[in-house]
Amino acid sequence: MGLLPFVLAAAVVSGPIAGGDRGQPFSAMAAAEVTRAAYTEAEYFFGGTATSFKPTGPLGVDGLWKIAPDTTAEYKVRMLVRRPADASRFNGIVVVEWLNVTANLEGAADFMQMQEELIRSGYAWVGVGAQAAGVNSPRSGLKDWDKARYGSLVHPGDAYSYDIFSQAADALRHPKAIDPLGGLAVRTMLATGRSQSAFRLVTYINAVHPTTHLFDGYLVHSRGANASGFKAEGLARDTENPVPAGAHLRTDVDVPVLDLQTEGDMVALRAHLTHQAPFARYRRWEIAGAAHAETPRWVAEIPPALDMGPACKDPVNSAPHHAVVKAALNALTRWVRDGVAPPQSPAIELGPDPAAADPIARDALGNAKGGIRLPELEAPTATLDGGANTGAQEAAAGAPRNFCFLFGRTKPLDAATLKARYPTHDVFVKAFGAAVDALVTQGYLLKPEADAAHKAAADSNVGR
């Protein structure tokens, strides 16, 4: 790929940070939860001079993008560090998450789904506030959320986010006066990002990774059709030389990349336009029946009542998206650490018109065909789709915008259909369990989640 004429500046790290009006970091774990996990949580500031980049040629769909340094600006942002309290429990792997700012705050969207696997396997996790909205947004941004704690932070804009992310990784890999990881011996560093953060990671992999080589692998989770640009803020597109829709990940990348997508990413974010064949260091997993966001449960049945999400019109998707995310982290770790490449999942089948509002091919129940086959689709008790939900008050004048379009829907099957499919409880449990066991064999489900799924099916009322 060739290195470009760019020298990474070293960030100055300070902390651990204490005090403030609220006396804790934004999005801190509950103290009892940290203790129960036998982890520590600490916040650090880091800053210095960040560089923005500009493309030095056209940006093609192939992702083989070249950039050069452009402007510089001073910055100071934060990282949140969670690591095993006992260093002997550390597995040597740091997961660095690009915190998600779609809601104008710093959200640990991947930690939320990976938490159990991170803790039980002894990973260290670091959330990096690389984007401006998480710092500067009124009310929800750090500087307004706790003026005393975060008032000194400075973010010059998302054009600098890529270099800020690199400098955070460098501070973790090559600590100087202050080591945010407390002396842990780091063998492997993985980058992860979900949704808007995944848009950024695609551009980082294609354009910035070849200049830094700081990460040993990437989990790109729930990207859309568009990768992020080099100048525009947030989800906006660059006005000059924009990143092309459907951009692929470059095929000469020198570290493993696992691209994890849901059915909902294809419906709501048009991620099916980015599908590409596997190559030496790239695999893609597609989860049928899962939404971009959800309220998960193993068996969709009533009671209890299905969740309505952020005040949505219909019950939101209940597929256990999180379970495949945990398996994806495990698969990426094995690939990077042991050289064992994961499978390429079957693709979710598309209908005759990829430009349709719903491009997915569906069965008689309305569930997606193809893809990773969750037990909720192989032994269905509901129709689970990844798009089309709306806010309950969306049409009302002055109603606030919400994110229901990302949450999909759960539509329980009627009693007659359930009775015909599952004349006894044992029939349901066997069908559901066989699907669970198949996912474990294929590598898309880990044993703790499989055990939870088996128990939920056995405890359910389906077929009773």
DSSP 3-31: --S--PPPPEEE-----SSSSS-TTPPPH
- Whether 60 is in a domain gets the answer yes
Whether residue 426 has pLDDT greater than 80: yes
| For residues 437-463, average pLDDT | 98
Whether residue 34 has pLDDT greater than 60: yes
**pLDDT, tens digit (0-9, with 9 covering 90-100), for 72-131:** 999 999 999 999 999 999 999 999 999 999 999 999 999 999 999 999 999 999 999 999
Q: Which of 34, 295, 63 is nearest to 202 (CA)?
A: 63
Whether residue 1 has pLDDT greater than 50: no
**pLDDT, tens digit (0-9, with 9 covering 90-100), for 297-343:** 999 999 999 999 999 999 999 999 999 999 999 999 999 999 999 99
How many domains does the structure of the chain reveal? Answer: 1
- Whether 106 is in a domain gets the answer yes
Instruction: Quote the pTM value.
Output: 0.96
Cβ partners under 8 Å of residue 398, min gap 6: none
pLDDT for 402 equals 78
- Whether 119 is in a domain gets the answer yes
Q: Which of 345, 350, 291, 277 is nearest to 322 (CA)?
A: 291
Cβ partners under 8 Å of residue 301, min gap 6: 381, 382, 412, 460, 461, 462
**pLDDT, tens digit (0-9, with 9 covering 90-100), for 149-198:** 999 999 999 999 999 999 999 999 999 999 999 999 999 999 999 999 99
- pLDDT > 90 in the chain, percent: 95
- Whether 424 is in a domain gets the answer no
- Whether 452 is in a domain gets the answer no
| For residues 429-444, average pLDDT | 98
For residue 322, the Cα-to-chain-centroid distance in whole angstroms is 10
3-class secondary-structure state, position 209: helix
- Whether 340 is in a domain gets the answer yes
Q: Which of 378, 464, 382 is nearest to 426 (CA)?
A: 464
What length is written for the chain? 464
Q: What is the mean pLDDT of the chain?
A: 95
| CATH of residue 257 | 3.40.50
pLDDT band at 2 (very low <50, low <70, confident <90, very high): very low
pLDDT for 394 equals 53
- Whether 430 is in a domain gets the answer no
Q: Which of 412, 402, 436, 432 is nearest to 318 (CA)?
A: 412
* Contact (CB, 8 A) for 125 and 152: no
For residue 112, the Cα-to-chain-centroid distance in whole angstroms is 9
Domain of 225, in residue numbers:
12-412
Cα 280 to Cα 189, 288, 334, distances in angstroms: 20, 25, 15
pLDDT for 263 equals 97
**pLDDT, tens digit (0-9, with 9 covering 90-100), for 271-286:** 999 999 999 999 999 9
β 124-128/39-55 pair status: unpaired
- Whether 138 is in a domain gets the answer yes
pLDDT for 7 equals 82
Whether residue 140 has pLDDT greater than 80: yes
**Alpha-carbon distance 129 to 81, whole Å?**
12
**pLDDT, tens digit (0-9, with 9 covering 90-100), for 394-421:** 545 444 557 899 999 999 999 999 999 9
**Alpha-carbon distance 206 to 251, whole Å?**
9
pLDDT for 400 equals 52
